[in-house]
Structure 1
Amino acid sequence: MVACSAVMARVWLAFCQLFFLFTSTPCLDVSQIQVPTNDGISGVLLVQAKNNVYSFNATTAREACEAIKMRIANLAEVKTANQNGLQTCRFGWIEEQIAVIPRIERNEKCGQNSSGVTPWRANIRAKFDVYCFKPAAKEDNGFHLGPE
């Protein structure tokens, strides 16, 4: 009976280790994030890895924005930015856990030849860039107020 319990304990431990391996997200290396140097359009910025390869799944996308003191943009924010001139040819995760491409002009090689914010429903493990949101600095009587 003791031998059976020991075997079951080892099997359970192996199962737990495999479960952790396949469900945990890899550590985010902040040094590999290309941090935009501007405020984006309507506060929305495309954030990507320095090597320009799609690198973020839905979880690490959120972590990437938080690591650079922003938050992941939502669909309404990306639509507003698109209406104000944001256009890319790169899919990026947004808050709703879908990837989007904001397009102004149609292009056969980009965004399914559509304009507007084109969604792409993908597995949350798929890798894309991320659209982060940087809220405008608060002002009072024309003076910039620092972080609260």
Structure 2
Amino acid sequence: MDDRNHQMLVKVGRCSGRCWRDGGQSYLLEPLHPTVHTQRGATAILPCVLRTLPHNYRVKWSKVEPTNYRENIIIITNGLYHKNYGPLSPRVRLRHSHRYDASLTITNVALEDEGRYRCQLVNGLEDESILLTLHLEGVVFPYQPSNGRYKFNYHEAKQACEQQDSRLATYQQLYKAWTEGLDWCNAGWILDGTVHYPIINSREPCGGRLLLPGVRTYGARDKQKDRFDAFCFTSALQGSAVYFIRGHLNFKEAGQACRNHGAAIAKVGQLYSAWKFSQLDRCDGGWLADGSVRYPITIPRERCGGLPDPGVRSFGFPSKEMRTYGTYCFMGK
């Protein structure tokens, strides 16, 4: 970018957040789009462009974590040198397409990368920053173990979601899922340690018929002692596929059938992702990695459960010795 083009950017840029000025100009350009949409496995760029280069400045990128309200530093640069920090370190770099560019590049985007990021210019005692949101298109699903509902404390719920190729949902993700039709009467943990359940159709067992639809909340709970289900969030994974193998297989045979095809038995989150993003539609119950049997329906019909809405139906956790079902396999990239 030459200086003439950069001056044009200076004229159209606007100040964002708490701005300090040098000769009447703020240093950071406000991004045209404060939300960056991406997919799991992709490369995402969070824009941060300077108007001019002050003396002895630093640019600091950090991630705003909703679970502890802290900001974890990702990378710091002075324009010539930079240093990476934390678990994102191997997958981040500065784009640096020109000398005013401090944009952050995240490779192989993971589920835990979603959230808010701050680009902060530090110069002396004052600073200026912009906030951006990295958004993954995804799907929220309720999850409970084979021994019934309300068995997870917070830490167990978090681990259970991770074992199913997902993570605990944020409140924003759960709320969006409710607006898209998620109706579930069992309360579950979400990422910030609070407990909720989303209701579309008000009914007696779910708070009563007089309450309006909404995301009902139990508030913050004891993460060690209190027990609920979990609301998990997963996203599409580039270059992957879930497919069905027909047969009368027990659980062990189902896993072997997938391995015979160079695949693995699918996890619950992977089946939900295939249903949501690949429109996987089958009326056949199939084993999954957690020992449950489920099937995905995108076109509801009478002979496939009879329910009026699309969804992933469940037969629960039958005996693993039963030779009744096929299996869903996951082929990664």
Given the two structures, how large is their TM-score scaled by the length of structure 2?
0.29
Q: CA RMSD, aligned part only?
A: 2.1
Question: Structure 1 residue 83: deviation in Å?
Answer: 0.4
After superposition, the Cα gap between the structure-2 partners of 1:52 and 1:114, relative to the gap in structure 1 and judged at 3 Å, is: farther
Query: Within the alignment, does 1:95 sit opposite 2:195 as a pair?
Result: no
AA of the residue aligned to 1:135: S
Q: 1:130 aligns with which of 230, 234, 246?
A: 230
Question: Structure 1 residue 147: deviation in Å?
Answer: 5.3
After superposition, the Cα gap between the structure-2 partners of 1:135 and 1:111, relative to the gap in structure 1 and judged at 3 Å, is: farther
Structure with max Cα Rg: 2
Question: Structure 1 residue 108: deviation in Å?
Answer: 2.8
Q: Is the 8 A contact 1:45 1:132 kept in 2?
A: yes
Question: Structure 1 residue 114: deviation in Å?
Answer: 4.2
Hey, what does 1:53 align to over in structure 2?
Answer: 149
Q: Is the 8 A contact 1:103 1:111 kept in 2?
A: no
| 1:71-92, Cα deviation, whole Å (9 max, x unpaired) | 1111000011100010011000
SS in 1 for 2:175: helix
Where do residues 32-111 of structure 1 align in structure 2 (5 Å cutoff)?
A: 43-111=139-207
Q: Is the 8 A contact 1:72 1:131 kept in 2?
A: yes
After superposition, the Cα gap between the structure-2 partners of 1:111 and 1:101, relative to the gap in structure 1 and judged at 3 Å, is: farther
Hey, what does 1:120 align to over in structure 2?
Answer: 218
AA of the residue aligned to 1:131: F
Question: Structure 1 residue 96: deviation in Å?
Answer: 1.2
After superposition, the Cα gap between the structure-2 partners of 1:49 and 1:114, relative to the gap in structure 1 and judged at 3 Å, is: farther
- Identify unmatched segments of 5+ residues in structure 1: 1-41
Q: Runs ≥4 in structure 1, deviation > 6 angstroms?
A: none
Tell me how far apart the structure 2 counterparts of residues 111 and 43 of structure 1 sit (CA, whole Å).
Answer: 25
AA of the residue aligned to 2:153: N
SS in 2 for 1:123: coil
Given the two structures, how large is their TM-score scaled by the length of structure 1?
0.61
Tell me how far apart the structure 1 counterparts of residues 176 and 332 of structure 2 sit (CA, whole Å).
Answer: 25
| 1:77-115, Cα deviation, whole Å (9 max, x unpaired) | 001110001001100000110111101122232146442
Tell me how far apart the structure 2 counterparts of residues 85 and 118 of structure 1 sit (CA, whole Å).
Answer: 14
SS in 1 for 2:227: coil
Question: Structure 1 residue 52: deviation in Å?
Answer: 2.0
Of Structure 1 and Structure 2, which has the larger fraction of its residues in strand?
2
Of Structure 1 and Structure 2, which has the larger fraction of its residues in helix?
1
| 1:44-71, Cα deviation, whole Å (9 max, x unpaired) | 0101011323111111110111111211
Percent identity (aligned): 30
SS in 2 for 1:102: strand
